């Protein structure tokens, strides 16, 4: 049998990429004069590009996805074995890996019982939105159809997901958006809207959600969709006092709580799921990136039986969830997810994320002592951010070109970090760190040393 082979002449690949690939989130004009970067191999936290340069990846595949690190042969083998035996059948029928992974997953999520398979985080979120809309029509006569989302949160790239998007720069060109999505204020203590801090700020932020509910009319609100820790909006860990009030408000007004774990799931924040830090009981949990660590495209919308039962009524022809996702029937996704979950368990990566997260925060705090440009550091587990300001007293955000220059300087040093580059006034500029959960102290020290150098050179 012929083995899998690809062109290996770097110039040929670079030219094919330059001529035909439209990269995500990238302005292509500079590629007229500089080469696009092509990644060819990964092992652990390390990547090698087509020119042979080695990089430490401190953002797990750029978008916080490769939780178990690169080069896991057993995941590749599981996918190959499964798809060779049975690659696909649309989700109307079950498959062995889909049933097995659903059982393993729900065992980690007490109170949640049902797994709806899809392909991307955006899609998983849309499944939950559609379930809320259908519940509204069937059980509330079309009332309770509105979905609340939070300023600075992000739930995906499709038009409905962007309609629930709290990052205005991402939405800027793509309106008009879907009706029935209503924004509530963020809960970033560093940018406290009224100067309150700590638990008082947490309770105040939750109160602002209740204010919106009362203004809209509680009988119009079906769900509240939140990231447990806001990711791309600047690594926002809600303060004490926030989540208990949020849960209470949802119960008080019979509002379904949808937690978007697309980033925070699978150990990223030092617990299996981000919401598990806060003792809350969601009705929907959506997840994508860490489900199979990027080895296969798979996402899940996990619900409680309470939600599931609302779709079971065989006296009503239209009561079932009238939805499909073709590639939610791929078997490679759950096969990869099973091995991914076993690796996280066997190597105790959730605990490593918590312990190494503490180390990372310690090193960032030293960096903050050294550089007054760092106004705030935030994070949980191997998920951290350092917000850059022009002035610590006024908290005026630094010009985004400096954030980009620091990220580029690190890249030149062979260290890949992330950065939020917000052109919308008032948006913070934050350096982002989310390496694979196998990261060691030594890896993290190398990353922080590169950032230290970069800040020294750029600012
Ligand atoms: N939800 C959150 C919190 C995200 O950060 C993202 C993507 O970064 C998404 C949803 C969308 O996921 P996807 O890009 O897989 O559609």
pLDDT in tens, 61-115: 999 999 999 999 999 999 999 999 999 999 999 999 999 999 999 999 999 999 9
What was the pLDDT predicted at 400?
Answer: 86
Note the pLDDT tens digit of each residue in 355-371.
999 999 999 999 999 99
For 240-252, the pLDDT digits (tens) are 999 999 999 999 9
Query: What is the torsion angle, in degrees rounded to the nearest 10, for the CA atoms of residue 288, residue 291, residue 295 and residue 298?
Result: -50
CA of 122 to the centre of ligand 1 (A): 6
Cα end-to-end distance, the chain, whole Å: 56
* pLDDT exceeds 80 at position 259: yes
- Mean pLDDT of all residues in 223-238: 96
Instruction: Write down the residue that tokens 């559609």 correspond to.
Output: 130
* Ligand 1 close to Cβ of residue 232 (< 6 A): yes
**What are the backbone dihedrals phi and psi of residue 430, each rounded to the nearest 5 degrees, phi first?**
-130, 130
Condensed to tens digits (0 to 9), the pLDDT of residues 5-35 reads 898 899 999 999 999 999 998 889 988 899 9
Radius of gyration of the chain, Cα coordinates, nearest whole angstrom? 22
* pLDDT at position 133: 98
Q: How many CB atoms lie within 10 A of CB 354?
A: 17
Instruction: Give the whole-angstrom CA distance, residue 427 versus residue 172.
Output: 14
Domain 10-68+348-458 is found in CATH 3.40.50.2020? no
Question: What average pLDDT does the structure give for the chain?
Answer: 95
Separation of 292 CA from ligand 1 center, angstroms? 14
pLDDT surpasses 70 at 43 = yes
What's the Cα-to-Cα distance from 172 to each of 108, 157, 169, rounded to whole Å?
38, 12, 5
CA neighbor of 217 nearest in space, from 242, 178, 182, 186: 182
Task: Please give the number of the atom of ligand 1 that sits closest to the Cα of 119.
Answer: 15
Residues facing 147 on adjacent strands = 181, 223
- Name the segment(s) of the chain with CATH classification 3.90.1150.10: 10-68+348-458
Task: Using the CB atoms, write b or e for 34-56: b if 16+ within 10 Å.
Answer: ebbbeeeebebbbbebbeeeebb
State the DSSP string of 315-347: TSTT-S-----GGGGBSHHHHHHHHHHHHHHHT
Give residue 125 CA to ligand 1 midpoint distance, Å: 9
Kindly state the average pLDDT of the residues 293-319.
95
Q: Given a cut of 80, is residue 425 above it in pLDDT?
A: no
Q: Which two tokens stand for residue 168?
A: 């205005």
Residue of minimum CA distance from atom 5 in ligand 1: 263
Predicted local distance difference test score (pLDDT) of residue 2: 61
Model pLDDT, residue 169:
86
Task: Look up the CATH number of domain 75-346.
Answer: 3.40.640.10
């Amino acid at each position: 049998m012929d083995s899998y082979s690809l062109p290996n002449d770097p110039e040929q690949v670079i030219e094919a990429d330059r001529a035909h690939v439209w990269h995500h989130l990238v302005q292509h004009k500079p590629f007229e004069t500089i080469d696009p970067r092509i990644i060819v191999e990964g092992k652990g936290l390390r990547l090698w590009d087509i020119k042979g340069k080695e990089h430490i990846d401190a953002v797990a595949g750029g978008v916080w996805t490769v939780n178990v690190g690169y080069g896991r042969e057993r995941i590749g083998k599981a996918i190959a074995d499964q798809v060779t035996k049975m690659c696909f059948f649309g989700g109307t029928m079950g498959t062995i890996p889909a049933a097995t992974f659903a059982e393993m997953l729900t065992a980690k999520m007490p109170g949640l019982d049902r797994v709806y398979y899809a392909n991307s985080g955006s899609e998983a979120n849309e499944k939950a939105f559609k379930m809320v809309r259908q519940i509204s029509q069937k059980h509330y006569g079309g009332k309770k159809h509105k979905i609340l989302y939070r300023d600075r949160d992000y739930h995906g790239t499709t038009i409905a997901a962007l309609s629930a998007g709290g990052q205005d720069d991402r939405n800027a060109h793509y309106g008009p958006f879907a009706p029935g999505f209503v924004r509530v204020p963020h809960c970033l203590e560093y940018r406290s809207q009224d100067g309150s801090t700590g638990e008082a700020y947490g309770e105040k932020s939750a109160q602002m959600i209740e204010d919106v509910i009362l203004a809209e009319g509680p009988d119009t609100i079906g769900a509240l969709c939140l990231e447990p820790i806001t990711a791309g909006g600047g690594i926002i860990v809600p303060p004490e006092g926030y989540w208990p009030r949020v849960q209470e408000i949802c119960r008080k007004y019979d509002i379904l709580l949808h937690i978007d774990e697309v980033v925070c799931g699978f150990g990223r924040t030092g617990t299996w799921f981000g919401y598990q830090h806060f003792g809350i009981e969601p009705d929907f949990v959506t997840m994508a990136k860490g489900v199979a660590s990027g080895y296969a495209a798979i996402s899940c919308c996990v619900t409680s039986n309470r939600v599931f039962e609302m779709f079971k009524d065989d006296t009503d022809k239209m009561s079932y969830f009238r939805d499909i996702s073709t590639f939610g029937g791929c078997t490679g996704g759950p096969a990869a997810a099973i091995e991914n979950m076993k690796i996280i368990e066997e190597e105790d990566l959730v605990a490593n994320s918590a312990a190494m997260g503490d180390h990372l925060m310690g090193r960032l705090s030293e960096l903050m002592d050294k550089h007054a440009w760092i106004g705030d550091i935030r994070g949980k587990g191997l998920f951290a951010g350092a917000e850059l300001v022009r002035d610590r007293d006024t908290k005026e955000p630094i010009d985004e070109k400096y954030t980009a220059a620091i990220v580029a300087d690190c890249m030149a040093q062979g260290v890949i970090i992330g950065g939020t580059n917000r052109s919308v006034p008032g948006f913070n500029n934050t350096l982002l760190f989310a390496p694979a959960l196998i990261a060691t102290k030594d890896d993290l020290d190398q990353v922080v040393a590169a950032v230290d150098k970069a800040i020294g050179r750029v600012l």
